Amino acid sequence: MAEKIFHDLIGSTGGRVRLLLSHDLKKATVRSNQLTAILLEDLKTTARIEVRAKVFVDATYEGDLAALAGAPFRTGREGRSEFNEPHAGRVYVKFRENQLLPGSTGEGDQAVQGYCFRFHVTNVPEKRIPIARPEGMNRADYQATIEDIRAGRVKRFRDVIQVYAMPNGRFELNSDHPHPDTGAPSESLDLTEDNWSWPTATQAQRRKPYQRILTHNVGLIWFLQNDPEVPESIRKDAQQWGWHRDEWPTNNHMPRQVYVRQGRRIVGEVTLTELDANVDPKLGRTALRNDSIAVIEWAFDPHGHHKYDPAHPGVREGYFFVLHEPFQVPYGILVPKKIDGLLVPVACSASHVAYNALRMEPVFMALGEASGIAAHLAITKRKQLRAIPVPLLQKLLVERKGVITFFEDLPFDDPDFAAFQWLGARGLNLGYRATPDKVLTKDDRAAMRTRIPGIPDTEGTMRELARAAYRSLGPKSI
């Protein structure tokens, strides 16, 4: 259904968006560090098409266009010492805890966190299609699951694979993490190590790990439903699930895209790190970014990088879930060093740790919207992307209800939403509350003038000051 919705959205543009499916990127033309054209090849007919543009947006998980154009990039994990990040490099951490366990060296490497498929299944009999044993399935892949079952740590399907309820009798599956109370599942849908080559591989080279991950994932479900060593109670619980008849009907009811949690990461004008989530005691919040274009709330959440090791029970190497306060995303992470005419909202500039708070689709959508508006500004104002007026970009974002500053008490329908968002990135408020109805003291107004030079000394409430300040300080035109 999601695929249909995307096609409907494209169809609603009246032909202004041309969709090219099943094409491979073959060449990027760069002149004087400016990306000017790309060459695509139809995988079915081998016909080639050149696309010229003033601005390109590389929205791939892997950053394939950025790399082909010559933008510098990172893969794998930085060591702890590179950015002084507590959770960088090789680490063992229990889920939702911060403490590093023995064996955590902090060494950087080229390990890549596990990928999996996000299947949609159903337990509605008239919509359910049985899951067949995949060709090439290797039962040895599930030995850690067998050990979990023998030890009594796994007693049902949901103890191995996460199941999320969706509308209309659909459920989405995802890989699960070892739970601190049980230590299980030791392994789930994530297939680690076999995917390490993926970020820098060609499309043709990715076909082998793609098929390996697909076979492993479907095989795990089939194994839980059918293997005689799995207790009957677990098999019966697992057998309630099947592919949904209405999902991906032209692809055997399975998604076409593997969940690439992390590929390349460009080296941009700014690099986001774990330290950006540190709270500044003077502000009562994370550092303010006057170039913010989005906000991150999700935890630092990389999945495992190595297969389960019994020497480290209850954890998978590289897997952690560390909570933090909301922090802002600066525009510069979209802009690659050395290459002009290109924005990269997905394979953007961040350390491994920071990327694993950013890598959720709500942030990708916010960065994609910012990229579209930034491209428009660069073209209309005849400026390079790294030189566009970011305050104007922010104005256009917040007036479309984009969030560039986190506030606990500012709903989208607040009449002064845009003013609080734009000024919030410049230090209007301390902490995470906008407090629109707070009556300001003389000292409050003086402190704001220190944080935001030129802000008017308007008496009254925070709302009244925000309105006056947005009128006087906010960008006036496009």
Q: Over the stretch 333-358, which tens digit does the pLDDT of each residue have?
A: 999 999 999 999 999 999 999 999 99
Q: Is the pTM of this model over 0.85?
A: yes
User: Is pLDDT at 476 greater than 90 in this prediction?
Assistant: no
- Please report which confidence band the pLDDT of residue 478 belongs to, taking 50, 70 and 90 as the band edges: low
Structure tokens at 274: 């774990």
What whole-number distance in Å separates Cα of residue 154 and Cα of residue 132? 23
Is residue 73 helix, strand or coil? Answer: strand
With the CA atoms of 153, 170, 96 and 309 taken in that order, what torsion angle do they form, in degrees rounded to the nearest 10? 50
In tens, the pLDDT along 160-173 reads 999 999 999 999 99
Contact 153, 160 (CB under 8 A): no
For 392-413, how does the pLDDT look when each residue is reduced to its tens digit (9 = 90+)? 999 999 999 999 999 999 999 9
| Token pair belonging to 127 | 């919509």
pLDDT in tens, 363-382: 999 999 999 999 999 999 99
Mean residue pLDDT across the chain: 96
Domain coordinates in residue numbering, the chain: 2-53, 120-244, 407-478
Q: Tell me what pLDDT residue 267 has.
A: 98
CA-to-CA distance for 62 and 300, rounded, in angstroms? 20
pLDDT the model gives residue 322: 98
Q: Which two tokens stand for residue 215?
A: 């076979």
User: What mean pLDDT do residues 446-456 have?
Assistant: 94
Euclidean distance between CA atoms 261 and 334, whole angstroms: 18
For residue 348, count other CB atoms closer than 10 A to its CB: 31
